[in-house]
Amino acid sequence: MNTAEHLIGQAEADATAIVDVDRSYTYAWLRGDVARRANLLRARGLAPGDRVALVGSNGSGWVSSYLAILAAGMVAVPMASTLPPDEVVARAEWVGAAATFLGGSECRQLRDRVTSWLPMTADSSIADEEPEFAEVATGQDAVLAFTSGTTGRPRVVRQTHDNLQANTESILGYLPLDRWERVLVVLPFSYVFGASLLHTHLKVGATLVLQPNAVFPQQIVERMSAQRCTGFAGVPSTFAILLRNSSFGTQRLPDLRLIQQAGGKLAPAMLRELIHAQPQARVFVMYGQTEATARLSHLPPEDLDRKLGSIGRGIPGVTLRVAGEGGRDVTPGEVGEILARGRNISPGYLDDEAETARRMPGGELHTGDMATVDSEGYIYVVDRREDFIKSWGLRIASQDVEAVASQLTELVAVAVVGVPDDAAGERVEMVAVKREGSSLTQEQVLAHCRGQLAKHMVPSVVHFVSLIPLNSNGKVSKSAVRDLCIALAADG
């Protein structure tokens, strides 16, 4: 089945699909706008299999443009709206985009630089029309998703119609979603976590409330309250700023019943704060990757207390294991790499057979995340393979240091990296953002770390900054943090 039909083919026409900044849109409008845009693509001579880029912020026009591409049997290529114009042009040329949907501000910068641009702006006066859904093969590409990296040539993950539908059904197999849900969306739809919110809520005929600006956390809380949102999802940086720089932990939000956290490990201290911030809401901790079309595992709310820090076990339809040397499953306490199988696993990277063979041999995804497993099969991520710090011949998990520092409630966010050092190989350095008005000092942070960490794990320095470098998905960019530490050291 075509994924667009799978998602919106059965929703009730008069139900609200999207609450945008200025108005609401029904599923009838959404299907009509999808039909109009799909016909526009066909009128420009595009055919099934052609690639169409999307560059713009979340909005009703983004949603209908994306679905129109899928409905026409074409391949959507979402790009973050925060990318520099030159990077957008380079990526569009690399994947061979035959057309590009552009948001309002992106039109001004890119309309003369991309092939066959189309406006993403929504038209509120759409006639009642049903889209024509192109027939697609099970393994046909639906989306080309860029990985987070922006240095050099990033990899592009192929996501098929079957991948998208399988992962959507898997998520709905454990998340209690129905048509009455109203989820507040701050994550970009160009990011697989944001896309999974789009897919699952459309599939059940629910409502997506779009929050255009995630910079001011109090605005998020106020919109959540005003729109009586029942759901919210975020990455660790989202919850860090909400918990420690807004009223999220003190203001009652009685309608909020379901919170999703993924996109990296939320420090246990902050996870406890999240659980207690809105006690009426159930918190689902999840884990996934772009190569898995979004989700791989989840930790049910009822397991949060006894399995704090775990990513849980594989979601329905996904088999996870932690493998050590030679591919054997590790025993409890041993560290190995998380491997995954399932219909949601991508068939590979675009035009990169070597990397596909390395990361997905025999269809089993090698995630690059190092983890342990307990006697009940619950998985605990230790760190990304490339984020381990090697100092004085010892291996340090950056997340262990971050977890201790995050116990200090005056810190909104922390990131720990290894910085090249002639004597140690790498020295441990920390970058941290303080709560507004905090007088916390570097020595107080270091003293706290010394009280709970082995000597070789204690950072050599703490750099206080106003913002920690994030990628376009709101996740901490460890490479950018490392560069920042080096630059700060050079400045003295």
Return the domain boundaries, the chain.
3-373, 388-490
Domain covering 3-373: architecture = 3-Layer(aba) Sandwich (3.40)
pLDDT at 352: 94
pLDDT at 190: 95
What are 131's two structure tokens?
Answer: 């889209």
Q: Whole-number mean pLDDT of the chain?
A: 92
Strand arrangement, sheet containing 117-119? 117-119, 99-102, 51-55, 75-79, 141-146, 156-160, 348-349
Rounded Cα–Cα distance for residues 322 and 199 (Å): 29
Residue 132, judged by CB atoms within 10 A of its CB (0-12, 13-18, 19+), counts as: middle
pLDDT at 213: 78
The model's pLDDT over 430-476, given as tens digits with 9 standing for 90+, comes to 999 999 899 999 999 999 999 999 888 999 999 999 999 888 778 88
The model's pLDDT over 386-439, given as tens digits with 9 standing for 90+, comes to 888 988 778 898 989 999 999 999 999 999 999 988 888 889 999 999 998 999
Contact 431, 397 (CB under 8 A): no
Q: How confident is the model at residue 492 (pLDDT cuts 50, 70, 90)?
A: low
Rounded Cα–Cα distance for residues 181 and 43 (Å): 36
Residue 211, judged by CB atoms within 10 A of its CB (0-12, 13-18, 19+), counts as: buried
pLDDT at 153: 60
Q: Please state which of the four CATH numbers 2.60.120.1140, 3.40.50.10480, 2.160.10.10, 3.30.300.30 is assigned to the domain occupying 388-490.
A: 3.30.300.30
User: In the chain, what percentage of residues exceed pLDDT 90?
Assistant: 77
Contact 371, 381 (CB under 8 A): yes
Residue with tokens 């944001």: 194
Contact 14, 26 (CB under 8 A): yes
Rounded Cα–Cα distance for residues 128 and 275 (Å): 44
- Residue of 191, 193, 190, 189 lying closest to 171 (CA atoms): 193
Rounded Cα–Cα distance for residues 303 and 234 (Å): 20
Residue 113, judged by CB atoms within 10 A of its CB (0-12, 13-18, 19+), counts as: middle
The model's pLDDT over 296-310, given as tens digits with 9 standing for 90+, comes to 999 999 999 999 999
pLDDT at 150: 35
Report the SS3 class of residue 166: helix
The model's pLDDT over 140-155, given as tens digits with 9 standing for 90+, comes to 999 999 986 433 467 9
Contact 367, 384 (CB under 8 A): no
Residue with more model confidence, 67 or 388: 67
Range with the poorest average pLDDT among 118-122, 270-274, 345-349? 118-122
CA angle 124, 130, 136 (to 5 degrees): 120
DSSP class of residue 313 equals: E
The model's pLDDT over 203-259, given as tens digits with 9 standing for 90+, comes to 999 999 999 877 789 999 999 999 999 999 999 989 989 999 999 999 999 999 999
pTM: 0.89
